[in-house]
Structure 1
Amino acid sequence: MTDEARAAAALWGATHVRLILARENAVHEIALPDGTRAALRLHRIGYQTQASIASELWWCSELAALGLPVATPVESRAGNLLEPLATGRLASVVRWIDGTPLGTAGVPFPEPVAIQTDRHFRLGQLLRRLHTASDGLTLPATFTRPRWDAGGLVGEAPFWGRFWDHPRAAYVQRAVLLAARDAVRLHLDRTNPPIGLIHADVLRENVLFSESYPALIDFDDSGFGYRLYDLGTVLSQNQYEPARDELRDALMAGYGTQDVESVELFTMARTLASVGWTMPRLAPDDPIHISHLARAEMVARRIMA
């Protein structure tokens, strides 16, 4: 990994500093020739296609040009936003964004409720800006991204996998997951919400706050989907928070929606999708399998009740 990262960094004339994260992508901190920090991403083979990653980078460049606080892609020395490596991976670089994550997955917010409701309100405002700006773009003919539509969330082959077939799900849990899947499908059939470009992974670690203002990073899972799914993704990590409903209401107020039913259904949809995400990525004995199943069951029972 270090040799690969150093070779990739050299394509940008950069100096490799350290590995930050190795999950979907391997993300490294690098120092660009002008001395500024950047994030080098070595993309996971077989997850996103070259055309899909190129589309993500184009979209983020356009958003940054419009003044949105997102990680701006950086061209290599050859003038490319995406570079193939000898290992078969693709590499890209985005400028560093300083800030403190909204929180840590599985860890209760340490700050007072008033601070967190304010942060969720501002995040809701940013998501509204993101969606509005994206709707105004003219996409190139080659633009392609995953679809978080009905098929991608609860179809026969969801983008992150058939969550109801999770091998660690107990019989009762599987029954609840199937009922929740039907509930999401019925809601989508009944309401037919519009689809546009969404971030699709607005988790705590992907929202960085500088003072009181949020920025978004990691558009790796972004695509075409229901706009309120972005709100549901935020709220999926708040389900054990004592102020869960206050945080939901603040996020919705910032976004400018009063559609509690849809936001709750998309929160449930995200917890279901996250169960599917675990299956091909985590070791069979990883405790996250059990915790994600328990959360999805809890949320489904609460919302369907």
Structure 2
Amino acid sequence: MISDETARAMAESALASWGGAPEPPRLVKNRENIVFEAHLKDGRHVALRLHRPGYQGREGVEAELRWCESLADQGMPVPRPVRTSEGALTGLVEDRVTSCVGWLDGTPIGAGDQPLSGTPEAVRTEAQALGRLIAQLHISSDAAPPDGFDRNPWDGEGFLGERPLWGRFWEHPQLSEVEATTLSSDRDLARVLLAQAQDYGPIHADCLRENVLSTPDGLALIDFDDCGPGYRLYDLATALVQGWGDPLWGEQAAGLVEGYRSLRPLPPDQEALLPLFVALRAFASAGWIVTRALPSDPRQKLYVERALDLAQHLENRTPPWETSR
């Protein structure tokens, strides 16, 4: 990770591709992607992103932005790409691809370390709204499929192959020998079950609470960095995985499915695969955290425990949220 000072210098240089800004940009987050809030000289309010090297590449980032542009054209509440002064979707500064999208005013509906908040009715209502938003995303994508959507696919290989997109979760260093054997076995089981999934197309792939904004006009979806071709159930699963163990998880799961199904079909045999996809997200996160945090980070243990618990539910064919209701 680069220092905040270096990131600010890179951001000010990057903004030249969009005509510059009258005031220094405000650092929002310095993580894998570095994000700044800025006002361009022409008055547009934008989020400037310095994309992490080695993940998507310039073609991949531009594929994401073309999709978001198509979604915004259809009225979806997603960030609209802001093209450079030369009409390009991206720029370059040092080793990073840069991009700007329109700023969306809103507040994240939560964070990963926060419990589901409110009454059961409130949690269910919010989940219904998110389910409808995800359904709208899939409907809009099918109505105008993105061109040249050359992104890493969330398919069997991406989840469970020898080189999963987010790492070999069954080799997490904090797994015991028995636990590693269990996850390896459940990896094989998941591959068998995954063959039953049917609905495949462009997905967001990261509908976590911090990527869903509550705005005056309803919910909006941001941060398409992980988007790609994939199973549609994975979008529902990423919206659910942070509820693991919460007493209101069952209400969230029920509301999410209800909201989705109110706009787009979700056959019972496909709904029955939702626990599989929640487990797949937990597996992916257990692989992801290994290289993203220190061994002492509490998320290392948390993500391993979650993966093992959801693997057990997968073996037993039991929806994990039913015990939360």
User: What interval of TM-score do these two structures reach, taking the shorter chain for normalisation?
Assistant: over 0.9
TM-score by length of 2: 0.89
Task: For 1:297 and 1:262, locate their aligned partners in 2 and report how far apart those are by CA, in whole Å.
Answer: 18
The alpha carbon displacement at 1:280 in A equals 2.3
Moved more, 61-70 or 281-290: 281-290
Question: What amino acid sits opposite 1:163 in the alignment?
Answer: F
Instruction: Give the match for residue 313 of structure 2.
Output: 302
1:285 pairs with 2:283: no
Of 111, 114, 117, which aligns to 1:110? 117
Q: Percent identity?
A: 41
Match among 170, 174, 178 for residue 164 of structure 1: 170
Which residue of 135, 159, 163 maps to 1:128? 135
Give the Cα–Cα distance (whole angstroms) in 1 for the partners of residues 248 and 185 of structure 2: 27
- Equivalent-residue separation in structure 1 for 2:246 and 2:217 (angstroms): 21
Task: State which of 86, 94, 114 in structure 1 corresponds to 2:101.
Answer: 94
**CA distance in 2 between partners of 1:130 and 1:160 (Å):** 24
**3-state DSSP of counterpart to 1:90:** strand
Structure 2 residue runs of 5 or longer lacking an equivalent are 1-6, 317-325
Instruction: State the match for 2:47 in structure 1.
Output: 39
Q: Tell me the residue number matched to 1:236.
A: 241
How many residues of Structure 1 are paired with residues of Structure 2 in the alignment?
302
Distance 2:149 2:111 in 1: 33
Do the aligned residues in 2 keep the contact of 1:173 with 1:293 (CA within 8 Å)?
Answer: no
* Correspondence for 1:18: 26
In structure 2, the CA distance between the partners of 1:179 and 1:211, relative to structure 1 (3 Å rule), is farther
> Residues of 2 paired with 1:212 and 1:137: CA distance?
23
DSSP-derived class of the 2:309 partner: helix
Which residue type is aligned with residue 31 of structure 1?
H
The DSSP-based 3-state class of the residue aligned with 1:84 is strand
SS of the residue corresponding to residue 221 of structure 1 reads coil
Gaps of 5+ in 1: none
Q: Given that residues 198 and 225 in structure 1 are in contact (C-alpha distance below 8 angstroms), is that contact kept between their aligned partners in structure 2? A: yes
- The residue type paired with residue 160 of structure 1 is W
Q: In the TM superposition, what are the counterparts of 1:241-256 in structure 2 within 5 Å?
A: 241-256=246-261
What RMSD in Å do the two structures reach over aligned CA positions?
1.5
- Match in the other structure for 2:229: 224
263-272 or 106-115, which deviates more: 106-115
Contact 1:16 1:28 in 2 (8 A): no
Distance change >3 Å, CA 281–CA 2, structure 1 → 2: same
SS in 1 for 2:296: coil
Task: Give 2:62's aligned amino acid.
Answer: A
- The CA deviation at 1:212 is 7.1
* Bigger mean CA offset, 19-28 vs 205-214: 205-214
Which letter does structure 1 place at the counterpart of 2:87?
A: G
Counterpart in the other structure of 1:28: 36
Tell me the residue number matched to 1:2: 8
TM-score computed with the length of structure 1 as normaliser: 0.94
2:153 corresponding residue in structure 1: 147
Tell me the alpha carbon deviations over residues 108-161 of structure 1, each in whole angstroms, 9 at most, x when there is no partner: 123222222111111111111111111222443x43111000110111211111
* Aligned with 1:175 (options 174, 177, 181): 181
1:270 to 265, 278, 281: 281
- CA displacement, residues 48-87 of structure 1 (integer Å, 9 cap, x when unaligned): 11111110000000000000000111011222110011x1
The one-letter code sitting in structure 2 at the alignment partner of 1:235 is: L
In structure 2, distance between residues paired with 1:35 and 1:103: 30
Between 1:230-239 and 1:11-20, the stretch displaced more is 11-20
> Which whole-Å CA distance do the structure 2 matches of 1:296 and 1:195 have between them?
24
For residue 192 of structure 1, report the CA deviation from its aligned partner.
4.0
Distance 1:82 1:211 in 2: 29
CA contact (8 A) 2:201 2:229 kept: yes
Q: Please report how far the alpha carbon of residue 209 of structure 1 lies from its aligned counterpart in structure 2 after TM superposition.
A: 1.0
* One-letter amino acid of the counterpart of residue 185, structure 1: R
Structure 2 contact 151–228 (Cα < 8 Å) conserved: yes
1:16/1:29 contact within 8 Å kept: no
CA distance in 1, matches of 2:48, 2:256: 31
Provide the C-alpha distance between the structure 2 equivalents of 1:76 and 1:280, rounded to a whole number of angstroms: 34
**Map of 2:79 onto structure 1:** 71
